[in-house]
A and B are shown apart, each in its own frame.
Chain A
């Protein structure tokens, strides 16, 4: 009986051991699979930032793809053809489907968008009219639509019922070059109903049209500056060379965005690489009411996209932005059409994250043409693929935004906590060290603040903390300092006297 029992327990023991081994094997199998699944699924070189030295530091993904919308997934009767631009107003998304002479209006439904209306004609006092390759659309708070009817050389203002309110044509103004055709490509409008129109082949800036359609000049054209070296080169170069020099041409904007406060953000791609290095090119500009650039640049590098561009992957040269969008927390995102990358900058012009790439996979683009945002989500239009990719922020991306916003609201301690959580996900993120350092500086914890500022190579803030810390140190050790000074003065005197005494003694 006893013998049998042991045998049975033995057998059972063997059985449990086998089961344990199987379980262990299963767990191991799952563990080997899990880490790959825990990632978003991009290769680990997808997202990055630049460190103080301008070296690439790979970072966790700040955004992940939620969905990719194309003609078939949206169930469109005619496939999108060379769509030019995106626009988001509230929960509505507009796609300028230029190749099909129409504008698609989509409505957000939970996490996805469904087609709501196809805008392909409008009524002009009873008669119907159509568009010809419309380039862009802008919808005002009242629901009026500005549409760049590029092919028909006009900008239309329609009400929400698609009735024509206003037509803007080529201004018969002497400041407007009458030889060039009026090809509006982008339009934005401010709260007063004033429209700012980007016109192809016009390099004087944005054309400004009042509420009644009256042309009132250009804004945003930067004065062309000649430096002495430029002058010398101009004298030395031949006529043919002079004509090649593009850097003297006033900038032609490539895209515009008007933020909630009415500031116009513009991007330009006409600049020389040399100007970019000295921050003279200013590919991203923030224009105020009189058209001067007021973009804040407090980062180690100006917001120019990639710092180190190399020639890898068949691409060379700097980033060239095709579009820009500004989130409500003043974080702006620029879209690089060369490499299909998105660059996020905070209100101080410091880089938050970079991701994207060129290719056919989801989250990669073939011709990144336009970017928009809806809340924290980013929508990117690929005009070659005729698709819209919707990105949503990851835990990491949300934490960066939270920390930025908390700091903007003045909640410095909370902001430091959020930056700590960012650091736990990305120890290479210098902005987080600065954020924590600034909170510590305000708390009066100078020694720790210095440590964080040093890690981020932030000499100005480090100096501030150090000055305070030095004051404290001097106050604490004032006795010692005086003692050392006194000793330094007294010791040579005492030694001199001792020497003299010894000499006198020897003389005796």
Chain B
């Protein structure tokens, strides 16, 4: 979608060619999930994928997560609605995804990884296509089967996660032009990197909130003295 980067959103959305390219790149996701090696290689190098399509897949994954909370039969998913916050649900998907991209890029860029941040994001987004494709019919399936038949649901759900997980591995392999062993090692290191980033963020937030609390208490103390 490089050719459209500078064009205002409204012009893009009204342009016929933009839509054609968007649908074409989105449809490419169906090719990628069954031909991961060639698929991910061409995804960024041959510009067969687009950021718009990647965003669309992530958005669909978010929607399906919410839909499955609402419409999956309670036999397979118990939702305590008094404790659900839609934005928290969004963040539980988005935050790990973004931290993953940052952690992975930060490491691979030092070790001859060929992928840029946007390539990593695009590859990961395309890799979660099976999750989107399988979880949607699973919502329907869950409403027509009983607990005893729940094995189908569990297996299919597991397949969707395993498929997406292995696609992420292949995506990283192709995008960074790594061997399989190196990819797996860097995925493990990226997961560790994610932990480090989360730790630093928590530390940061805790320090900031302490700082704010200090200023607030100082203000209160002074205002009590004055009145």
Residues of A within 8 A of B (CB): 52-53, 454, 457, 459-460, 462-464, 466-467, 470
Contacts and interface: CB of A to CB of B under 8 A. Distances in A.
B78 A466 contact: no
Nearest to A473: B144
Nearest to B147: A463
Interface in B111-161: 144, 146-148
Given A462-B147, A463-B148, A466-B146, 7 more contacts: A457-B74, A457-B78, A459-B147, A460-B147, A462-B74, A467-B146, A470-B146
Contacts of A457: 74, 78
Interface of B: 74-75, 78, 80, 83, 144, 146-148
Question: Which interface residue of B75, B83, B146 has the most chain A CB atoms within 10 A?
Answer: B146
A463 B142 CA distance: 12
A462 B144 contact: no
Main secondary structure of the interface of B (DSSP, over half): loop
A454 B146 CA distance: 13
Contacts of A52: 78
Contacts of B75: 459, 462-463, 466
Contacts of A459: 74-75, 147
B170 to A, nearest CB: 32
B146 A463 contact: yes
Contacts of A470: 144, 146
Question: Which interface residue of A52, A460, A463, A464 has the most chain B CB atoms within 10 A?
Answer: A463
Nearest to B78: A457
A454 B74 contact: yes
B16 to A, nearest CB: 25
17 contacts: A52-B78, A53-B83, A454-B74, A457-B74, A457-B78, A459-B74, A459-B75, A459-B147, A460-B147, A462-B74, A462-B75, A463-B75, A463-B147, A463-B148, A466-B75, A467-B146, A470-B144
A470 B78 CA distance: 21
A489 B202 CA distance: 56
A487 to B, nearest CB: 18
A253 to B, nearest CB: 36
A325 to B, nearest CB: 34
A99 to B, nearest CB: 49
A460 B146 CA distance: 9
Contacts of A467: 146
Nearest to B146: A463
A467 B146 CA distance: 6
A52 B74 CA distance: 13
A52 B144 CA distance: 24
Nearest to A453: B74
A470 B147 CA distance: 13
Contacts of A464: 146
A460 B147 CA distance: 7
Contacts of B78: 52, 457
B144 A53 contact: no
A466 B146 CA distance: 7
A463 B75 CA distance: 8
B72 to A, nearest CB: 12
**A-B pairs, 7 with minimum CB distance:** A463-B147, A463-B146, A459-B75, A467-B146, A53-B80, A459-B147, A466-B146
A467 B145 CA distance: 8
A52 B80 CA distance: 9
Contacts of A463: 75, 146-148
Contacts of A53: 80, 83
A53 B78 CA distance: 10
Contacts of B74: 454, 457, 459, 462
Contacts of B148: 463
Nearest to B76: A459
A478 to B, nearest CB: 15
Nearest to A465: B146
A242 B9 CA distance: 68
Nearest to B144: A470
A485 B57 CA distance: 31
A497 B205 CA distance: 65
B83 to A, nearest CB: 8
A454 B78 CA distance: 11
B165 to A, nearest CB: 27
A158 B26 CA distance: 89
Contacts of B83: 53
Nearest to B75: A459
B181 to A, nearest CB: 30
A454 B143 CA distance: 13
Contacts of A462: 74-75, 147
Contacts of A460: 147
A462 B146 CA distance: 8
A441 to B, nearest CB: 14
A467 B149 CA distance: 10
Nearest to B80: A53
A460 B150 CA distance: 12
Contacts of B147: 459-460, 462-463
A284 B78 CA distance: 29
Nearest to A51: B80
A53 B80 CA distance: 7
Nearest to A462: B75
B151 to A, nearest CB: 13
Nearest to B74: A454
A203 to B, nearest CB: 39
Nearest to B148: A463
A300 to B, nearest CB: 11
Contacts of B80: 53
Question: Which interface residue of A457, A464, A466, A470 has the most chain B CB atoms within 10 A?
Answer: A466
A437 to B, nearest CB: 14
A287 B144 CA distance: 42
A52 to B, nearest CB: 8
Contacts of B146: 463-464, 466-467, 470
Contacts of B144: 470
A466 B144 CA distance: 9
A470 B141 CA distance: 13
A464 B148 CA distance: 9
A139 B70 CA distance: 58
A459 B146 CA distance: 9
Nearest to A464: B146
A460 B75 CA distance: 8
Nearest to A454: B74
